[in-house]
Structure 1
Amino acid sequence: MIAGLPLKAFEGSRMRTDIARFLNDRLDWNLLRTYLVIMQERSLSRAAARLHVTQPAVSQALRRLEETLERRLIERRGPYFAPTQAGEEVYRIASDIYGNISRLETELDDRTEDISGSIRLLTISRIESPVYDEFLAEFHRAYPRIDLQIEVMRSSDIISSLLQKTATAGLGLCRTPHEKLEMRCFLRQRYAIFCGRHHRLFGKSSLTMDDLLAENFVSFTSDQIGDSLSPLTVFRDQKGFTGRIVASSPSLDEVRRLIFAGYGVGCLPEHIVRDDIAQQRLWRLPPEEGLMDVDVHLLWHRDRKMNAADHAFLDSMERCMRRYSLAERLGK
């Protein structure tokens, strides 16, 4: 235990003893903080950029943490890495500790109720995350005098508005980093191909990619080359799809509706259509592993003058993201 917080992992193992000894006797918040960011960014270079330090400094912090725990936490393969079992456990424990301390700081700060102002948040349609819903509830409890205005728009329009410094922050897709925008990955959505109940492929098993190549498509208006979902277009071209795009919309809900109506097959985030699959409104098509991951980022202009309400919102969002893994944010 540390400060009354339970160690939920490493039950009955030497691994638990090692991490408990480290947390109790030699707690180094800098190492744990760096490790949390590495795991959240899934990249040493991106972690270094977020922490405003050099990549060698991040690598050294990771090495010191691994040496202290006598466990390898991350298996590196060139620019990519995968956490070991010990790495996943350390991340969960560190997230719990950091989250509890962050909540404690907010609860003990009597000044939160005195902060007032307005926040303008821009977002793409259908952000589906139980963690996000709980975050908004917690934020309102902590800052009851802050007014929140949420506007739904396309990712390209979100980025344009943020570059013009007209909003506090945005939640949207951003394939190419902008020099003036801070960017944090908030959700990682796996896209797959689906058809609806009114489509001829609905309910058919043992299908292959070849069975889909001539099918017409329902698309997002943002999956044109160069736009935020253009990898979906690249995928269709690479696989040799010959069907035409018969319907499109910038709205995820409208694309989903058109797929259900049988206009064509189309791509949707897996976690958003779980209920549709269970209710047999939609049918999952090959490939089994899905197509690609699309990140929804928290974005804001680094040079925009922020008021106390803006700072409170962004600080709270970052604490929330440190507390929960990407999988947890999707409700997995």
Structure 2
Amino acid sequence: MLRPRRRFVWEIDWNLLRTFTVIVEEKSLTAAGNRLLLKQPTISNALRRLEDHMACRLIDRSSNHFRMTPAGERLYAECRTMFRIVTGLPDLIEDDPDLVSGHVEMAFASHIECPFLDRFLADFHKAFPRVTFSTTVLASQAVIDAVLTSEAGLGICLAQEKHPELDYAVLYREHFGFFCAPGHPLFGKRGVDITELAGLDYVSFKTDHLNGALAPVARLRQRENFNGPVLGLFTNLEEVKRLIKVGFGFGPLPIHVVAVDIEARQLWQLPPYQNPPAADVYIVTRRFARGNRAETLLVDRLLAAIEAVPLSERTYPRGLASVTPETI
């Protein structure tokens, strides 16, 4: 006699899970039927049967309303994981291990610039030239959400609070400087004292607060009494840089990312010049999730490469003294 959970595995029609996934992606029973070349009553019956199997409602719907329930959201995330595994099965049983193929879906925060990662990806491509990649650029929290829902096999982003269903590994550490642009009263001025920044107009990232991923920057602002008007908060580095350049105020940017702008005198660095605030950038993966062979291979090799290289060699700019993000 099979126990109830094992009976569920043997009795469920796995096509119901595929149909449910298409319903969610299309946000309509009719559209799902068109995609699967099935009539709408067949799709509706499949959803009802799946809800009976799961003993809960998965989608709340009416003529003008369509929304997944919390149970439906969890099931959809698991369905995406299962389909990624199934998609990778041909590669998994490939006789020649050197002929690894597959696709890796990644989600990056907007300002990821890491020579260590670039070298790793170049080497990985040489070893496995049949693996393909795509990357979506998102705000850090959206990167976390994409990994949680299995829309991305791995994410690279800033993170403050760690989600219990995800694994985090520090990819690199970056230092943030404060910058202004031509036209600002401090542009080109040498020997600026940090007290001169108090009261000046300011632009930054939405995570620049004491509970955010840029808490080190927020703690420094609080300590130094940067109490000027905040004229803009953004999730994208390019938008923060744009507002600094057009004269909205000064703000924080990763020093190594804007090195070209500094060299071209489009940005001018302000204090502190020693021990600037630093933040860690993480590789984020879903705990216990199995992706396709290419994705699993990439993550495993990247984590091994990180373990083999000291964090000091994955800190940018290189050779810049700092304290850890946790103690700033």
What TM-score do you get using the length of structure 2 for normalisation? 0.63
CA 1:200–1:290 in structure 2 vs 1: closer, same or farther (change >3 Å)? farther
CA distance in 2, matches of 1:258, 1:275: 17
Q: Conserved in 1, the CA contact under 8 Å of 2:255 and 2:317?
A: no
C-alpha distance in 1 between matches for 2:304 and 2:156: 16
Indicate whether 1:191 and 2:176 are aligned.
yes
Q: Alignment partner of 2:203: what SS?
A: strand
Query: Counterpart in 2 of 1:255?
Result: 240
Question: Residues 314 and 206 of structure 1: is their aligned pair in 2 closer, same or farther, counting only changes over 3 Å?
Answer: same
State the alpha-carbon separation in 2 of the partners of residues 259 and 197 from structure 1. Answer: 9
Tell me by how many angstroms 1:122 deviates. Answer: 0.7
> What displacement does 1:327 show?
4.1
Aligned partners of 1:142, 1:161: CA distance in 2, in Å? 27
Which of 124, 128, 136 is residue 143 of structure 1 equivalent to?
Answer: 128
1:116 has 2:66 as partner: no
Map of 1:80-229 to 2, 5 A cutoff?
111-229=96-214
Between the aligned partners of 1:126 and 1:211, the Cα distance in structure 2 is 28
> 2:213·2:279 contact (CA, 8 Å) conserved in 1?
no
Please say if residues 181 and 299 of structure 1, whose CA atoms lie closer than 8 Å, have aligned partners that are also in contact.
yes
Measured in 2, the distance between the counterparts of 1:201 and 1:266 equals 13
Q: Please state how far the C-alpha of 1:163 moved relative to its aligned partner.
A: 2.0
Partner of 2:266: 281
CA distance in 1, matches of 2:111, 2:235: 11
Shift of 1:112: 4.3
Number of residues paired by the alignment? 223
Matched, 1:294 2:270: no
Aligned to 1:75: none
Rate the CA distance shift 1:321–1:164 in 2: closer, same or farther, 3 A.
same
Q: CA deviation at 1:137?
A: 1.7
Q: Does 1:322 align with 2:307?
A: yes
Tell me the SS of whatever aligns to 1:203: coil
Distance apart, 1:331 and its partner CA: 6.8
2:12 corresponds in structure 1 to none
Quote the offset at 1:261 in angstroms: 2.1
1:271 aligns with 2:271: no
Give secondary structure in 2 for the equivalent of 1:222.
Answer: coil
Does structure 1 retain, via aligned residues, the 8 Å contact 2:172–2:280? yes
Deviation string 1:70-99 (CA, Å, 9 cap, x unpaired) is xxxxxxxxxxxxxxxxxxxxxxxxxxxxxx
Q: Please tell me whether the aligned partners of residues 113 and 145 of structure 1 are also in contact (alpha carbons under 8 angstroms).
A: no
Which letter maps to 1:216? D
Identical residues among aligned pairs (%): 32
Q: Deviations over 1:243-300 (max 9, x none)?
A: 1111232111221222122211101111112222222111111112143110000110
Aligned CA RMSD, in angstroms, stands at 2.0
Name the SS for the 1:200 alignment partner. coil
Contact 2:178–2:270 at 8 Å: present in 1 too? Answer: yes
Structure 2 unaligned spans of 5+: 1-94, 319-328
Q: 1:111 to 1:292 in 2, by over 3 A?
A: farther
In 2: Cα distance, 1:172 partner to 1:163 partner: 14
Give me the whole-angstrom Cα distance separating, in 1, the residues matched to 2:248 and 2:96.
54
Question: Can you list the C-alpha shifts for 1:138-185, whole angstroms capped at 9, x where unaligned?
Answer: 212211222211111011111122222332111011112222211111
Moved more, 225-234 or 195-204: 225-234
- Contact in 2 for aligned 1:171/1:299 (Cα 8 Å): yes
The residue type paired with residue 194 of structure 1 is: F
Deviation track 1:37-64 (CA, whole Å, cap 9, x = no partner) reads xxxxxxxxxxxxxxxxxxxxxxxxxxxx
2:151 counterpart SS class: coil
Provide the TM-score with structure 1 as the length reference: 0.62
1: CA distance, partners of 2:110 / 2:96: 33
1:87-144 superposed Cα distances (whole Å, 9 cap, x missing partner): xxxxxxxxxxxxxxxxxxxxxxx94432222111111112212222222222122112
Q: Which has more radius of gyration?
A: 2
Q: Residues of 1 paired with 2:307 and 2:211: CA distance?
A: 31
Counterparts of 2:149 and 2:317 in 1: how far apart (Å)?
Answer: 34
Structure 2 residue identity aligned to 1:139: F
8 Å Cα contact 2:112-2:157 kept in structure 1: no
Is the 8 Å Cα contact of residues 193 and 290 (structure 1) preserved in structure 2?
Answer: no
